[in-house]
Amino acid sequence: MFNPFKKSPVSSPQSTEKAVAEDLEKDIVVHVMPKHFRTAHTEAKQAKTTGALILILGLVFLFAVGLLFYYFIFVYQPKKIEPAAIEKNMPAQEEAVGQEATSTSQIASSIDSIASSSEMVATTTATSTEIIASSSEAVELLPATDVDQDGLTDDEENILGTDKNKNDSDGDTYSDLSEFSKLYNPAGAGKLENNPKMSRYSNNYSFIYPNAWQVQKLPDDSIKIGFKSADDSDNDSVKKQFVEINVSPNYKKQLVGDWYKEQFNLAFIDPTRIIEHKNEKNIVDWQGIKNEDGLTIYLTDKNYENIYTINYNLGLGSTLNYVNIFNLIIGSFNIDK
């Protein structure tokens, strides 16, 4: 039973303090600082020491550079070379200068030699040009004798058997040249091949030519049509004239105009130098181009396989004795392909 008058036991001071201490120990939590925080202060101290050392070394380096700069600007003076030393060095320098002068002299001599050679070349070229010019003047083409003025030369009329004193030898109202150029016989009736003094050469190509001329096969597979004596020693310049035909491959299969431009480096060909050959059916079967002097013609076959070159060689002369026979060979030229 509750007794209000009963006294509570009184605790002693020692037991009270002990109880309080125990209560405090229960409520206190002890935190320990991590190790890296405990050593951070030491490391910071070392970093400061290292930075100070670097700063001191930098100042020392700058000071040393400043001293060197001051020395070379204000204190140092280059050593002066005494005149005697200059005199000692003079011979070597003079020798070097002498060698340079010699080299220069040699170069000058070489230049003079080159100049002399150039002058010689120029002189030779000029001389060659003069010779060529003289040759060109010497081979100026001249018309042959034509007594009846019918267009056929007297030498051609002798070959054909026509009358060189009449422009219409057979009296058919057609001039000798008109019939001849159209492949008709000016000395009688019928075609030109009916004339006993004319023949047709046939191989891979064919043409009409005078019987008095011979056909020679040359080593390069070209042929030569002209007079030929037994010993080939005839000095008659007229009989040394001939027509030569050469055949060469048309590698690029070009039209004759394109081939001619490429060979002679031309951009344009005068239309008057272009020949269109027509067969008996009046159809163009080949096209050719004449040189400016009219003594060479280049043509190609319809398949563009070969280039045919027909050239009238005047030999030792400069007179066009057989120009109509040359034109006859061209006009009657057929390619059997």
Domains and CATH numbers, the chain: 197-335 (3.40.1000)
Least confident of 69-73, 74-78, 286-290: 74-78
Confidence tier at 76 by pLDDT (50, 70, 90): low
Show the tokens assigned to 194: 């009916």
| Residues sharing a CB contact under 8 Å with residue 200, sequence separation 6 or more, in sequence order | 193, 206, 207, 208, 209, 332
**Stronger pLDDT, 20 or 236, i.e. the higher one:** 236
Percentage helix, strand, coil for the chain under 3-state DSSP, each rounded to 5: 45, 20, 40
Q: What is the mean pLDDT of residues 252-273?
A: 95
Q: Residue 245 in contact with residue 309, Cβ under 8 Å?
A: yes
Q: Between the CA of residue 320 and those of 129, 141, 168, 313, 317, what are the distances in Å?
A: 26, 7, 22, 10, 8
Q: Share the mean pLDDT of the chain.
A: 76
- Beta partners for 209? 199
pLDDT of residue 38: 54
pLDDT of residue 57: 85
**Stronger pLDDT, 291 or 89, i.e. the higher one:** 291
Confidence tier at 96 by pLDDT (50, 70, 90): very low
Neighbours of 293 (CB within 10 A): 9
Q: Between the CA of residue 23 and those of 20, 32, 40, 284, what are the distances in Å?
A: 5, 22, 36, 138
Confidence tier at 311 by pLDDT (50, 70, 90): very high
**Stronger pLDDT, 296 or 237, i.e. the higher one:** 296
pLDDT of residue 258: 96
Show the tokens assigned to 325: 């026979």
Confidence tier at 18 by pLDDT (50, 70, 90): low
**Most confident among 46-60, 130-144, 271-285 (mean pLDDT):** 271-285
User: CA-CA distance, 332 to 335, in Å (whole number)?
Assistant: 10
Q: Residue 200 in contact with residue 206, Cβ under 8 Å?
A: yes
Strand runs labelled E in 162-234: 198-202, 205-210, 214-217, 223-226
Show the tokens assigned to 144: 């042959």
Neighbours of 53 (CB within 10 A): 10
